[in-house]
Chains A and B, each alone.
Chain A
């Protein structure tokens, strides 16, 4: 339908009825991530970001650049989930979590440094809204997004 080139800096923002700590856990722990992140098992340590499939194969790997629980996480992003994106340069993902009124938190995801990675840019442009919508549903209802 569209032939647009995907953006090289992509910004996504969502309000979630959860604490920053709950959101941080959902981003950094595999028992949460596999319920909303295309089934991937994500583990984040102060050094590394790693998303695995059910068999232990790498889907996304990254070096953690900033690690400030529960407010800020910055890591590089090398996608391995298909051959087209696997050959591209690493890009960068920034997660910002800010507490809001009424028990809400605002989560902002910035995926940038995609200039040399057009296939990755296109792939994640289709994915982030779905992932964040699923994260919100999981934290607010305890259930993965239906369908």
Chain B
């Protein structure tokens, strides 16, 4: 990991299973592989592979606690992408559209 490159973050986020894993960690952080695996219809090896991609992109950080390896969501790379790509170009318009979408979906 180079620390400067956005590519691993975008690549990691480009997969629905990996976004799902991030959502699971957003709900409750500090989970083991076994816990995460139990919520996905996927082999342990498959989940490990996705976690590795997320870890390489810095989106997941692992910490050891006793004998367990716990997985934490690291939101900082998403913040950096936000600061670099969203703030700069489109924040105002994006938020207006997001408001419109929310409003339409609520009244629908």
Contact = CB atoms under 8 A, between A and B. Distances in A.
A136 B26 contact: no
A44 B79 CA distance: 26
Interface stretch (A2-10, A27-35, A63-71): A2-10
B30 A9 contact: yes
A56 interface: no
24 contacts: A4-B27, A7-B28, A9-B29, A9-B72, A10-B29, A10-B72, A13-B58, A13-B61, A13-B76, A14-B58, A15-B3, A15-B4, A15-B58, A17-B3, A17-B4, A102-B3, A108-B61, A128-B76, A129-B79, A132-B76, A133-B80, A133-B83, A145-B83, A147-B87
Interface residues of B, number: 22
Contacts of A4: 26-27
Interface string B71-84: 01111101110010
B3 to A, nearest CB: 3
Interface in B86-105: 87
B42 to A, nearest CB: 24
B1 interface: yes
Interface of A: 4, 7, 9-17, 100, 102, 104, 106, 108, 110, 128-130, 132-133, 136-137, 145-147
B63 interface: yes
A106 B87 CA distance: 25
B107 interface: no
Interface of B: 1-4, 26-30, 58, 61, 63, 72-76, 78-80, 83, 87
Nearest to B83: A133
B29 A12 contact: no
A15 B1 contact: yes
B2 A129 contact: no
B26 A11 contact: no
A110 B4 CA distance: 22
A129 B76 contact: yes
Contacts of A136: 80
A128 B78 CA distance: 12
Given A7-B29, A11-B74, A106-B3, 7 more contacts: A12-B75, A13-B74, A17-B3, A129-B75, A129-B78, A129-B79, A133-B80
A14 B74 CA distance: 9
A53 B79 CA distance: 25
B31 to A, nearest CB: 11
